[in-house]
Amino acid sequence: MTQKALGQLCANCAGHASVAITFGGRDHTGRLRTITAHCPACHGTGKRLALRFVITSAGR
């Protein structure tokens, strides 16, 4: 049985495009202080851009 091909994952983040990083402490309400970091290669999408799009936009 054939299966639909999955989208191409980003090689830099392997599909885990956004992560939460803790500062190691809690704020005055007791919640963990976190920041969100996105993959700079795929801009937080987790997928690789089509090569055709990259070549086209680079030529402009």
SS3 of the chain = CCCCCCCCECCCCCCCCEEEEEEEEECCCCCEEEEEEECCCCCCCCECCCHHHHHHHHCC
Q: What is the pLDDT of residue 13?
A: 86
Q: What is the pTM of this model?
A: 0.55
Average pLDDT of the chain to the nearest whole number? 79
Q: What is the pLDDT of residue 5?
A: 62
Going 12 to 22 to 36 to 16, the CA torsion angle's sign is positive
Would you say residue 51 has pLDDT above 80? no
Better-scored residue on pLDDT, 4 or 22: 22
The pLDDT tens digits for 14-41 are 888 889 999 888 999 999 999 999 988 8
